[in-house]
Amino acid sequence: MGTLIRGNRDLIKEMNRSLLLNIIRREGQLSRKQLTEISGLSVGAVSGIVAEMLANQWIMEVGEGDFTGGRRQTMIKLNSQAGYAVGLKLMEDRAVIAVTNFESRIIEYTERAISSQASPEQIIDEIAMIIQSTLDDSKIAFNKLFGIGIGLAGVIRSKEGIVRYSPFFGWREFPLAGMLEEKLQRPVWIDNDVNTLTLTEQLFGAGTHHANFLVITIGRGIGLGVVINSQLYQGVNGGAGEVGHMILSQQPDVGYRPLEEVAADPAVVAHVAQYHPVKTLGDVVILAEAGDDHAIQALADSGEKIGVGLANVINILNPELVIISGEGTLAGDFRLKPLFAAIQHYVFDGLLDDVQIVVEPTNDQAWARGAASLVISKVFESPIVETNVNA
């Protein structure tokens, strides 16, 4: 009985520590008094846990807050140097990698060419060398590293560290995390790249103060990250969020086609390439800015289709926030105005009343930072996670 009570007390203390750490993360900086009021914990519990976190250098004191009468309050915040994370986004022809601090700020970034045609073992060796080289450049001590996060396209069983299916590499049931852990002797976590970007938004971005939100990414593909009751929803085996494979309607002569096949960046470029020698979305945008009707129409059609798909998701999940991200947002209003118009038209009456929609363009550094956030999220994770959310 004594062991059980002690175990329960230890668990409660860990849960309270996680609660306080997350409040400090969300608020940026605050006083012990404010922390007590927000958390609902006792003054003694907050004081003891804060003292421990200060001693362990998880947090730091940053002077006094604005004086409002009574005793002056010392402010506390996260210690950005409490630990570091490596994040790597793996693509078919290259990897982008970042080292971030505890507040998810990038302190080292690089990108390297890789080959999807290489054997899995060769790719693992390449990734390990890239990570080690980047860490050497950052001058971060290995014992200050929380771990390594990998983001890549495909269906990922993140809890097991297994790539269930990778469209770029052709991997099936591939134990990527375990193989890298053996090489690097540090914890490795992997997830779908859109999920890692969603974690960044949850920890330090627009989703910080929202319990239910979506992140849709537009680029080479169309992806979706879903947060429900403050937990990243991944589905039964890591396949949640494949909105790019949503079927909107039957196309004449070709049958049913998925959303990203008709609306992602390659579809836009392919359509305009029938009339102009374009190779990238940027080329299409330049034509649109010059008034080219083909480019303008292709971007508008793409935006409308994505808006219809997103309206379907909003109708199903009723989020409080939608973040539109990805490299495809560089098309600006050519794509986004029709997208917003479609959302307004197709979302069920009243469901948009309390939905905030924001646009956050994404570059390679953001994807790498997202992969690092996969590591940082483990530090803030409560010891009890709702099992009915990530079944």
pLDDT per position in the chain (391 positions), as tens?
A: 444 444 588 888 889 999 999 999 999 899 999 999 999 999 999 999 999 999 999 999 987 765 455 567 899 999 999 999 999 999 988 999 999 999 999 999 999 998 878 888 899 999 999 999 999 899 988 889 999 999 999 999 999 999 999 988 989 999 999 999 999 999 999 999 999 999 999 999 999 999 999 999 999 999 999 999 999 999 888 889 999 999 987 666 666 889 999 999 999 999 999 999 999 999 999 999 999 999 999 999 999 999 999 999 999 999 999 999 999 999 999 999 999 999 999 999 999 999 999 999 888 999 999 999 999 999 888 776 543 333 3
CB atoms within 10 A of CB 256: 10
Question: Do 228 and 320 share a domain, yes or no?
Answer: yes
* Cα 196 to Cα 232: distance, rounded to the nearest angstrom: 10
- CATH code of the domain containing 34: 1.10.10.10
Task: Give the residue from 30, 46, 78 where a domain finishes.
Answer: 78
Residue 356 dihedral angles phi and psi, to the nearest 5°: -95, 130
Mode of pairing for the β-strands spanning 59-64 and 74-78: antiparallel
The reply to whether 66 falls in a domain is yes
* Cα 44 to Cα 39: distance, rounded to the nearest angstrom: 12
* 179 and 170 Cβ atoms separated by less than 8 Å: no
Question: Do 256 and 357 share a domain, yes or no?
Answer: yes
Question: Do 346 and 223 share a domain, yes or no?
Answer: yes
Task: Give the residue from 78, 112, 132 where a domain finishes.
Answer: 78
Question: Global pTM?
Answer: 0.88
Question: Do 299 and 232 share a domain, yes or no?
Answer: yes
- 70: containing domain: 2-78
Per DSSP, the residues of 118-173 read S-HHHHHHHHHHHHHHHHHHHT--GGGEEEEEEEESSEEETTTTEEEE-TTT--EE
The pLDDT of residue 31 is 93
Question: Do 215 and 332 share a domain, yes or no?
Answer: yes
User: CA 311, 316, 319, 323 torsion: positive or negative?
Assistant: negative
Total structural domains within the chain: 3
Question: Do 238 and 329 share a domain, yes or no?
Answer: yes
Vertex 372 angle, CA 332 and 77, to 5°? 95
Write the CB contacts of 206 (distance below 8 Å, at least 6 apart in sequence).
Answer: 213, 321, 323, 358, 360
Question: Do 89 and 74 share a domain, yes or no?
Answer: no
The reply to whether 388 falls in a domain is no
* 292 and 306 Cβ atoms separated by less than 8 Å: no
The pLDDT of residue 10 is 80
Closest CA to 300 of 268, 347, 258: 268
The pLDDT of residue 252 is 66
Three-class DSSP category at 267: helix
* 101 and 164 Cβ atoms separated by less than 8 Å: no
Question: Do 286 and 224 share a domain, yes or no?
Answer: yes
Question: DSSP code of 348?
Answer: P
* Cα 308 to Cα 275: distance, rounded to the nearest angstrom: 27
Task: Give the residue from 78, 94, 115 where a domain finishes.
Answer: 78
Question: Do 70 and 144 share a domain, yes or no?
Answer: no
Question: Do 153 and 237 share a domain, yes or no?
Answer: no
The pLDDT of residue 390 is 39
The reply to whether 290 falls in a domain is yes
As beta bridge partners, residue 148 has 86, 188
The pLDDT of residue 64 is 72
User: CA 7, 13, 15, 17 torsion: positive or negative?
Assistant: negative
Question: Do 33 and 115 share a domain, yes or no?
Answer: no
The reply to whether 355 falls in a domain is yes
Tokens matching residue 90: 């793996």
Question: Do 93 and 64 share a domain, yes or no?
Answer: no
The reply to whether 390 falls in a domain is no
The reply to whether 239 falls in a domain is yes
User: CA 230, 215, 233, 186 torsion: positive or negative?
Assistant: negative
CB atoms within 10 A of CB 362: 23
* 36 and 43 Cβ atoms separated by less than 8 Å: yes
* 370 and 197 Cβ atoms separated by less than 8 Å: yes
- CATH code of the domain containing 95: 3.30.420.40
Q: Is 349 exposed, middle or buried (0-12, 13-18, 19+ CB in 10 A)?
A: exposed
The reply to whether 260 falls in a domain is yes
The reply to whether 385 falls in a domain is no
* Cα 152 to Cα 367: distance, rounded to the nearest angstrom: 10
